Amino acid sequence: MPKETTPRARPDHPVVSATGLTKRYGDLVAVDAIDLRVRAGDVYGLLGPNGAGKTTFMRMLFGLVRPDHGTIEIDGIPVQPVPVRALDGVAGFVETPRFYPYLSGRKNLELLAKLDGSGRSRINEVLEVVELSDRAGSKVREYSYGMVQRLGVAASLMREPRLLVLDEPTNGLDPAGIRDMRALIQRLADSGLTVLLSSHHMDEVDEMCTRVAIMRRGQLAFDGSMSELRGRAGRATRHLVTSDDATALTICHRTPGIVHAEREGARIVFDADDVAVERLSRELVAGGVGIRLLHAPTSALTTLFFRLTDIEAGADEEAA
């Protein structure tokens, strides 16, 4: 095997650097000419709906899938053609972590430690971190989904990574599991790890990430800091139920700051910031319309996410 001599973590290189990264599956362009940089210390969220290309991007990052065009580098080392050179110091999982079901959790970690050439001495420690010490002797086929997720995190931590890559780490977990997983990721990030995580939950990214890229149909719809994203997320989607929806809709259309107003079943749906909502409330009352319900089921960030990732709703101009 060729020996790796390139110094790691060169300060002039981002930890992850993708340039023109493209992957096609037949006619489907899963990832379309993406340029993306993750800097050391970032907790970088890769956000997008299912099928946006997040997982394909991560598979290319891990060298599991070869890009058709473009390059992806980790610490300045190209992932292809020999991924193992670039993946030193990188750990994580793509989609649900997978293990040998006929072996125990501990035995699986021991096998992985052999494939790493190290980490065996850390098995007890990482099992304790993910609170699997008591079940480490059980076969993985007996594990719940959440336990397999936690074993995936344990297997990642064994590598003492500088870059942790997690693909929808809270997917399928119950609320307590989600809370614990987020807390763990936050703690790891606080310890200095660079974290790249994908999600389709804006609130998750909002809670944990410092930077975010939003993917839509294989392309980047947004790439920047969370504060930049929050700055663009002025309007949240609101639901309105009134005593006279026809009149209320007319008032919505003429009230400044109320956009995308339309009837949706027995309610009116529109996007607005808080100031516009105040103005609308006064107009409705002045127009003799009784307000039965007015609330925002999603946050402004989530609304922006939907706008950025929903081409059919005419969101291209929103993203621009």
Partner 1 sequence: MSSTASLETPTATASQLTQRRPGVGAVYGVELGKLVRQTKVRVISLVMIAAPWVFILLVLHQDRLPLETLYGRYLKTTGFATPMVVLVVAAQWLLPLIASFISGDMFSSDDNHGTYKTILTRSVARGSVFWGKVLAALSATVVLVLAIGASALLAGLVCVGGQDFISVGGTLVSPGAAFADVAVSWLSVLPGVLGFAALALCVSILTRNSVLGVVVPVVVGLVCQMYMFLNAWDTVRHLMLNWTMTAWRGLLDDPSYTEPLVRGVLVSIVYIALFVTVGYLVFRRRDVKEG
Rounded Cα distance between 207 and 182, Å, is 9
Confirm or reject binding of residue 128 to partner 1 (CB under 8 A): yes
Q: Taking CB under 8 A as the rule, which mask of x and - marks residues 20-49 in contact with partner 1?
A: -----x------------------------
Q: Parallel, antiparallel, or unpaired for β 77-78 and 69-74? A: antiparallel
Q: Name the DSSP class of 66.
A: -
Rounded Cα distance between 138 and 207, Å, is 34
β-pair partners for 90: 163
Confirm or reject binding of residue 115 to partner 1 (CB under 8 A): yes
Using omega within 30 degrees of 0 as the cis cutoff, is the peptide bond preceding 81 cis? yes
Segment interacting with partner 1 (CB under 8 A) among 4-12, 200-208, 231-239, 272-280: 4-12
Confirm or reject binding of residue 91 to partner 1 (CB under 8 A): yes
Q: Is residue 54 within 8 Å of 48, Cβ to Cβ?
A: yes
Nearest approach, Cβ of residue 104 and partner 1 (Å): 10
Q: Toward partner 1, which CB reaches closer, 191 or 227?
A: 191
Q: What tokens appear for 31 in the block?
A: 């990832």
Confirm or reject binding of residue 50 to partner 1 (CB under 8 A): no
Confirm or reject binding of residue 63 to partner 1 (CB under 8 A): yes
Q: Toward partner 1, which CB reaches closer, 3 or 295?
A: 3
Confirm or reject binding of residue 184 to partner 1 (CB under 8 A): yes
Confirm or reject binding of residue 161 to partner 1 (CB under 8 A): yes
Going by C-beta distance under 8 Å and a sequence separation of 6 or more, which residues neighbour residue 315? Answer: 306, 307, 308, 309
Confirm or reject binding of residue 57 to partner 1 (CB under 8 A): no
Q: Toward partner 1, which CB reaches closer, 74 or 289?
A: 74
Confirm or reject binding of residue 117 to partner 1 (CB under 8 A): yes
Q: What tokens appear for 265 in the block?
A: 């079943």
